[in-house]
């Protein structure tokens, strides 16, 4: 337990309020240790309001984030993801510096007594959750105090805890200062409650202007198009784009690999059926590292795992080993140990479908060949030499998909940020393929000219005109209803149908009407039986009649409002705190020299 506490001290939270701060700022604050794993000698990476940011302090945060990300990745972290980690580390270091400056400006400090009180009465979650400090499953403060007073406590841990409290308590004071006096009134709570509990049922007529009005009915003049373009210039930006050629090597198992896996599964199953200890086989062979450490044992709850695995676990006789179960993770040798109404305890060995050694060696040889050829041939030459199909695609930021390769973030980043036309990339990899890319042409982000934007502009002006035409038609339907026809009669006369919706709340998405738009607002603004005028929402036109309304139960709200107040207040305090941090950054003088200093060092570190 002590080792775990030492390793996780940086994650300790003091109390609920401090948790807000911890989630946004502090969980990385204690990593500013100056630890460096790169070959860079150090120096200034930038400045925050005149104070230098050293490479060493940046690298400590960067390495921590990099290591965390790598724990959740099956393969190497590519350049695109590495750049995101680098940006996140820089943001954290900058915010750490801004918070420290603000604490000094306000004279916020922590006293020895405050540290002692926090350590004594606000123990970290690791202590609260440890059975050593619990009585009947609940944290026992007396046992915790006895531990602190005993010879068993590790002095190193106490030093780390003190450092954490001295760092976190001033920040929590800043949080309280910035959010003090915040209160959510009963009126606000009641309105929020009503938004999710008032209900309405309606009849409505929906007109789609793009279908209802023909293009010929809404001609667009040159002057109208020019005026629209002038008023919406910022909307006509063409994103950066890269035209590339590429080749792909599939790294997924084939039929022979699957057959070899099935044979291996049969061998292991036969070993267990022959008397081998299931737990030992699971520890030795299972690819599910979490359950393997426990001899393959785990408990699953109905509805929380893949269907084929769940069906076998809940239906098979206890203590018997049936046929292997195939899921997207591989083959499972499964034995149900115990079963309850909604959960089951099982042991399993997971054997993923993987490349057979011969296939893997052949693929590695092909990858080596591709790697060599990327430095000597263009993509067409590589395709001929290796017998690979050369494909062509266009890449833009945020849309990094290559047919046959899937999401190709590294290739997209390389083509848009690093490559020169004609250059061939290194070999990139995803979970399913290896691929290489050649940049054919790249265009930077730019504003479309009036001529280039003309088709889009004319379509937008026409769409606006169609909405106005649809409104005119809808007004005719409303006039007929108000003259004595039913909504159904008036709609049918104009060629439309009346639809039903509800009951729904203000916060619901309502098929046919949408969500939290003018149509929904109108439904709740009408009395039962009342007809609306013409309503525009989400590029459509509506006529709405509210049929019935059900109001929220105020007595139920009175019983729940304090819990509601706590939840809403927490969310609003977090928002206010986030706005404060954003304002700190916006008003700071931040100098970022990473482009000149950091790039080679981070690339070497991550490779």
DSSP letter string, 549-600: EE---HHHHHHHHHHHHHHHHHHHHHHHHHHHHHHHHHTS-EEE-HHHHHHH
Note the pLDDT tens digit of each residue in 66-92.
888 877 766 667 777 788 888 899 999
**How far is residue 109 from each of residues 100, 112, 159, measured CA to CA in Å?**
11, 10, 18
Q: What per-residue confidence (pLDDT) applies to 156?
A: 79
Length in residues, the chain: 607
Residue ranges per structural domain of the chain: 2-180+588-606, 199-236+451-550, 244-250+365-433, 255-351
Would you place residue 275 in the very low, low, confident or very high pLDDT band (cuts 50, 70, 90)?
very high
Contacts by 215-223 with C-beta closer than 8 Å and gap 24+?
A: 215/462, 217/466, 217/469, 218/462, 218/465, 218/466, 218/469, 220/458, 220/461, 220/462, 220/465
Contacts by 340-346 with C-beta closer than 8 Å and gap 24+?
A: 342/301, 342/302, 343/299, 343/300, 343/301, 343/302, 344/299, 344/300, 344/302, 344/313, 344/314, 345/297, 345/298, 345/299, 346/297, 346/298, 346/299, 346/300, 346/313
**How far is residue 563 from each of residues 133, 189, 366, 506, 568, measured CA to CA in Å?**
29, 10, 62, 21, 9
Region 440-448 average pLDDT: 92
Note the pLDDT tens digit of each residue in 118-169.
888 887 777 787 888 888 888 888 888 888 777 667 777 778 778 888 888 8
Q: What per-residue confidence (pLDDT) applies to 463?
A: 94
Question: Buried (b) or exposed (e) across 201-238, using 16+ Cβ within 10 A?
Answer: bbbbbbbebeebbeeeebebeeebbeebbeeeeeebee
Region 591-600 average pLDDT: 72
DSSP 370-394: HHHHTTTS-HHHHHHHHT---EEEE
Region 241-261 average pLDDT: 93
pTM over the 0.75 mark: no
Q: What per-residue confidence (pLDDT) applies to 70?
A: 77
The reply to whether domains 199-236+451-550 and 255-351 share a CATH topology is yes
426 contacts 436 by C-beta, under 8 angstroms:
yes
**Residue 5 clears pLDDT 90, i.e. is over it:** no
Region 4-29 average pLDDT: 32
| Angle in degrees, CA 270, 273, 279, rounded to 5 | 100
CATH (one of 3.10.50, 2.60.120, 3.30.720, 3.30.1560) for 199-236+451-550: 3.10.50
Q: What per-residue confidence (pLDDT) applies to 152?
A: 67
Rounded CA-CA distance 56/33 in Å is: 8
Q: Left, alpha or beta for 399 (phi > 0: left; psi -120 to 50: alpha)?
A: beta
Q: Identify the residue with better confidence: 3 or 47.
A: 47
Rounded CA-CA distance 31/60 in Å is: 6
**Residue 598 clears pLDDT 70, i.e. is over it:** no
Question: Buried (b) or exposed (e) across 446-461, using 16+ Cβ within 10 A?
Answer: eebeeeebbeebbebb
Q: 255-351 in CATH: which number?
A: 3.10.50.40
Average model confidence (pLDDT) across the chain: 85
């Amino acid at each position: 337990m002590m080792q775990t506490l030492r390793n996780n001290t940086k994650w300790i939270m003091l109390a609920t309020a401090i948790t807000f701060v911890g989630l946004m700022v502090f969980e990385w604050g204690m990593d500013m240790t100056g630890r460096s794993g790169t070959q860079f000698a150090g120096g200034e990476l930038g400045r925050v309001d005149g104070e230098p940011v050293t490479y060493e302090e940046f690298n400590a945060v960067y390495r921590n984030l990099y290591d965390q990300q790598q724990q959740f990745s099956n393969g190497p972290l590519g350049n695109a993801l590495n750049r995101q980690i680098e940006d996140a580390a820089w943001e954290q270091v900058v915010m750490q510096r801004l918070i420290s400056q603000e604490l000094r400006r306000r004279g916020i400090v922590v006293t020895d007594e405050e540290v002692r009180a926090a350590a004594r009465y606000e123990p970290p979650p690791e202590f609260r959750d440890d059975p050593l400090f619990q009585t009947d499953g609940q944290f026992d403060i007396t046992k915790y105090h006895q531990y602190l007073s005993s010879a068993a406590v590790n002095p190193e841990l106490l030093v780390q805890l003190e450092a954490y409290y001295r760092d976190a308590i001033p920040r929590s004071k800043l949080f309280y200062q910035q959010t003090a006096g915040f209160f959510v009134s009963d009126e606000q709570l009641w309105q929020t409650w009503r938004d999710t509990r008032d209900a309405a049922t309606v009849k409505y007529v929906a007109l789609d202007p793009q279908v209802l009005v023909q293009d010929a009915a809404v001609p667009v003049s040159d002057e109208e198009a020019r005026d629209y373009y002038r008023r919406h210039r910022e909307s006509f930006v063409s994103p950066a784009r890269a035209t590339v050629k590429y080749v792909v090597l599939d790294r997924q198992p084939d039929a022979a690999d699957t057959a070899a896996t099935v044979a291996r599964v049969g061998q292991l199953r036969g070993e267990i059926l022959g008397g081998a200890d299931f737990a030992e086989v699971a520890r030795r062979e299972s690819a599910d590292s979490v359950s393997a450490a426990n001899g393959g044992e785990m408990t699953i709850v109905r509805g929380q795992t893949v269907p084929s695995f769940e069906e076998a676990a809940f239906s098979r006789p206890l203590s018997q080993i049936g046929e292997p179960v195939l899921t997207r993770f591989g083959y499972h040798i499964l034995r149900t140990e115990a079963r309850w109404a909604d959960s089951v305890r099982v042991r399993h060995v997971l054997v993923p479908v993987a490349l057979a050694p011969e296939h893997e060696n052949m693929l590695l040889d092909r990858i080596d060949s591709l790697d060599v050829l990327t430095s000597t041939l263009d993509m067409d030459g590589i395709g001929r030499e290796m017998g690979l199909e050369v494909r062509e695609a266009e890449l833009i930021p945020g849309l990094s998909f290559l047919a046959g390769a899937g999401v190709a973030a590294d290739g997209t980043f390389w083509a848009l940020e690093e490559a020169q036309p004609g250059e061939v990339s290194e070999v990139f990899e995803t979970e399913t393929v290896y691929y290489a890319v050649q940049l054919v042409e790249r265009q930077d982000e730019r504003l479309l000219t009036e001529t280039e934007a003309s088709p889009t502009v004319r379509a937008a002006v026409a769409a606006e005109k169609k909405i106005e035409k649809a409104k005119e038609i809808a007004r005719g339907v409303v006039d007929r209803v108000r003259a004595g026809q039913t909504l159904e009669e008036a709609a049918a006369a104009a060629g439309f149908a009346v639809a039903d919706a509800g009951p729904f709340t203000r916060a619901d998405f309502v098929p046919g009407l949408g969500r939290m738009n003018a149509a929904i607002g109108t439904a709740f603004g009408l009395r039962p039986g009342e007809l609306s005028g013409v309503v525009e929402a989400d590029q459509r036109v509506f006529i709405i009649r509210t049929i019935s309304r059900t109001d929220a139960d105020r007595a139920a709200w009175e019983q729940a409002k304090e819990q509601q107040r706590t939840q809403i207040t927490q969310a609003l305090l977090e928002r206010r705190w986030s706005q404060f941090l954003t304002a700190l950054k916006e008003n700071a003088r931040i100098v970022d020299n990473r482009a000149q200093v950091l790039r080679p060092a981070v690339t070497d570190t991550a490779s």
